[in-house]
Amino acid sequence: MLKPLLKHPPPFHLQKLHFVLGPIHFLVFSSKSNLYSTNDKSSSHLVAKICEILTDLQWQKNPQLSRLSPDLRPHHVSRIIDTHKSTDLVLQFFYWVSKRPFYKHDMSCFISMLNRLIRDRNFAPADHVRILMIKACRREEELKRVVEFLNELNGNAGFCFTLYSFNTLLLQLSKFGLVGLAQNVYTQMLNSGIRPSLLTLNTMIYMFCNKGKVNEAELVFSKIFQYEMFPDVFTYSSLILGHCRNRNLSKAFEVFDRMLKEGCDPNSVTYTNLINGLCNAGRIDEGFDMLEEMIEKGIRPTVFTYTVPISSLCESGRVNEAIELVGSMRKRGCNPNVQTYTALISGLARVGKLEVAIGLYHKMVKNGLVPNIVTYNALINELCVSGRVGDALRIFYWMEGHGTLPNTKTYNEIIKGMCLIGDMEKAMVLFNRMNKDGPYPTVITFNTLIGGYLKKGNLNSATRLLDMMKESKCKPDEWTYSELISGFCKGGKLDSASTLFSEMVERGLCPNQVNYTAMIDGYCKAEKIDVALSLLERMEKNGCCPNTETYNAIIHGLSKDNRLSEAERLCSKIAEQGLLPNVITYSSLIDGLCRNGGTNLAFKIFHEMEERNCFPNKYTYSSLIFGLCQEGKADDAEKLLEAMKSKGLAPDQVTFTSLIDGFVMLGRLGHAFLLLQQMINIGCEPNYRTYGVLLKGLQKESQLLTEKVVVQNEAVYSCSSYGQVTNLELMCNLLSRLSEYGCEPTAHTYKTLIRGLCKESRSYEAEQLVEIMNGKELCPDKEIYYSLVFAHCRNLEVDSALNIFKLMANSGMAPQLSIYAALICALCKTCRTEEAQNLFECMLEKQWNGNDVVWTVLIDGLLKEGMSNLCLKFLHIMESKNCSLNLQTYVTMARELSKVDKSTETGHLDEQPHHLIIERKIILSIIFRTSWCSFHVANA
């Protein structure tokens, strides 16, 4: 008996290993079988009943068979084939049942039928079943497994491949682009002594040419003449395709000319290949000339002839011409297909006509065309790029609901959109779905998520994704490390960045200019200039040439540290190496001088850069304005602001805030408010620091008035009167002054102030501003509520935080994971553990990614606060609710728990109940043991 192929889903323990070993592929045909159904009594009864019916000469007309056939599954058919006495009858039944609606043969059926026919030496019908088996393959994995099986079968009991079965197999391999396997089959065919047909050779030529392997195709082409055959239009068109794939258009036209000389008339495919080749090479107008030549010769273009020219026009921004071409195509009776619409939709969206693209999508659906995955991906991508992630997500779920399964590109586009708007929780939910149901995440998926976390400043989660990436089949690349190193440097975590830098080298990835520059910039910002300089030396030693940006980072650091002579020497070195100092180089020097009282020298450099045609930018002017203001020359700074505007440079928050601060320091508060008015009028929104400078001015003004009253009344006032009320009064005074100067406070004004106060944990004043805001019928948004919850939680004002949380829920605002983490930690800290657990369980009912929950709530929340027992308790709750977790998450949890254990052992060991310490050590042991076993399985 021939060995069967795997046809059942993997057992549960192998599904778990998916996380360690990556996706495990099993050969499964359309009909899913149940592993245990063959042992079921009802199943055996059905098989026996069908076998009994087949003994009747008129079995096909038997009403009982018609009644029972809807219950038939592939494993039933396989058993009937194996157990019935008559081979001829089971073969008839095999064909009959395959034509029944909603039924498809499983691989077990083909295996059983082939086994039986070969055993009875019925080779002709066996060859037909073999051909049906090959044609039944719907996926690459299925076909590969079938090839392996048929190779083992070949020659068994004298059953060999025929020309027809060889050709069928080659055609199917061509369909999936499996050139290597096709070469093996072709060689096997020649070795078996079977003379190939023109179809055989054409299939091989097309396969090679489709992959651009023209040399291999020409070797097969020579066989045509060797076997005394003649090439046809398909042969020549394939060779033209191959040369076009390689962008060798001169060779493609040589084949075209040869074809004409041989008297072989080109068809629409021949012209389509040439037109596509010209368009792909950017020679669109020549492609149109070929299209006209084709029409003049009476060859009717197909929809495929138009598709690439339309796509090329769209890609080059010539969308109107593409639309005209579609009109021309319609006039010739050639209706656009899905690919045509997809090209137009993508092109329109790319040139900013997204609404027209969406309209075209609806028209396409209305015309009865079913969008394909490329159409959806084009729409989703453009919607995400334009910030309409909600619309993109709706399309994503709609396509799923209508039978189009998203591919990796679809998921990557949606995840990228989520990361762009900072919604990492939803991005991780989609990532979880990929891990669970496929398609499996790629390097792009991981890199996108890592970039999203780094953008939010969540370095811990970015690192955990790197760990998950390492254990998966997706290995980190240069981009992964570049982003992480840059992110850690920006976050001031230079030790971690340095570790990643070393790890990158250990993995055989070469650090480039970007990596070195990020590290150097990080050290400079951390005021470790000497370390940065030594890294610059190492960079040069390793043959990686610094660029202007690298030098700029060091020059900025040296200037800031008042090491101006060294910065100037480095400027000279830039010139020596043939690099030109740019505006950032000069601005770095100017900024350093202005911060260290050298504004006069800064102006000399400013004039020098203008003489060298290196035009100052807004940062250059901002540095000079800051320097002048620090020296009490606010009027001169304001003149510089006007000069800046006259050169078309828009001042930003930093520029205006420096200038406003300059006038506040001079006691000219009125003029400072006039500058604020000017700032708002040009569309530059003040930030919290801007308002802070004005509050400082108002406080100074209030103190001066108080001192006057004290002097006049000869009274003594206590400083204790300046508490929260005074701060709130100052805030109200600021809002009042804003109105006086025509800067009526908006929702954005309140949000800026509230968020700033919350960051300083001044929750009382922030709450008061929300009340004032509500009184003015200005609705607080999600960001304001988030800020308030975090501030209240930091101050352990749990009831206030919970009230806002409920208010958010009632308003339909879905809280993010970090909100839950803050509330749960605050509840636990205030010994309200039961409420924390209820909230945690309520949170788990939402569709969160299990790993993200552990990272955010348990590790970065409870464990960070030293609450390891509660952390383990909540982990147990998650496991009891079947929340899927990655192995690396357990390893991370174990590592973090062990850190807490060490601190407990050295500090408060006697305060911990003995049984909890033992329990924790056991859990740690289990987690570590699990990871160790999985490691060995993965590396076996």
Q: What is the pLDDT of residues 286-328, one digit of tens each?
A: 999 999 999 999 999 999 899 889 888 888 888 889 889 988 9
Instruction: Identify the top-confidence range among 371-375, 700-704, 877-881.
Output: 877-881
166 within 8 A of 200, measured Cβ to Cβ:
yes
pLDDT digits (tens, 9 = 90+) for 819-829: 999 999 999 99
| Range 33-45 average pLDDT | 56
DSSP bridge partners of 156? 159
Q: Would you state the pLDDT for residue 710?
A: 61
What mean pLDDT is reported for the chain?
Answer: 86
Q: Are the C-beta atoms of residues 480 and 495 closer than 8 Å to each other?
A: no
Question: What's the pLDDT at 190?
Answer: 92
Rg (CA), the chain: 37
Query: Is the per-residue pLDDT at 11 higher than 50?
Result: no
Q: What are phi and psi of 27, to 5 degrees?
A: -80, 110
pLDDT of residue 924: 53
Peptide bond into 439 cis (omega under 30): yes
Q: Which amino acid is at 572?
A: S
Q: So what's the pLDDT on residue 713?
A: 61
Per-residue pLDDT tens digits for 234-261: 999 999 999 999 999 999 999 999 999 9
What is the pLDDT at residue 40? 58
Q: What 8-state DSSP symbol labels residue 58? A: T
d(CA 826, CA 835): 11
How sure is the predictor about 812, in pLDDT bands with cuts at 50, 70 and 90? confident
Handedness of CA 685, 687, 693, 696 (dihedral sign): positive
Query: Which residues does 687 contact at the CB level (< 8 Å), separation at least 6?
Result: 653, 657, 752
Q: What angle do CA 403, 409, 415 make, to 5 degrees?
A: 100
Judge whether residue 786 has pLDDT over 90.
yes
31, pLDDT greater than 50: no
Q: Report how far residue 602's alpha carbon sits from residue 600's, in angstroms, rounded to the nearest whole number.
A: 5
Contact 463, 446 (CB under 8 A): no
Q: How many CB atoms lie within 10 A of CB 511?
A: 22
Q: What's the rounded Cα separation, in Å, for the pair 829 and 862?
A: 9
Whether residue 156 is predicted with pLDDT greater than 50 in this model: the reply is yes
With a cut of 80, say whether residue 37 has pLDDT above it.
Answer: no
pLDDT of residue 13: 32
Sign of the torsion formed by the C-alpha atoms of 378, 381, 383 and 385: negative
The percentage of the chain sitting over the pLDDT mark of 70, rounded to a whole number, equals: 89
DSSP character at residue 72:
-
pLDDT more than 90, % of the chain: 58
Q: Kindly write down the DSSP assignment for every residue of 346-376, as one continuous string.
A: HHHHHTT-HHHHHHHHHHHHHTTPPP-HHHH
Query: pLDDT category, 918, cuts 50, 70, 90?
Result: very low
- Nearest CA to 446 out of 460, 458, 459, 463 is that of 463
Please give the average per-residue pLDDT across 661-670, as a whole number: 95
Torsion of CA 124, 125, 129, 130, to 10 degrees: -20
Q: Residues 711-732: pLDDT tens digits? A: 666 544 443 333 333 688 899 9
The confidence score (pLDDT) of residue 758 equals 96
- Can you give the pLDDT at residue 91? 94
The tokens describing 252, both together, are 């493609």
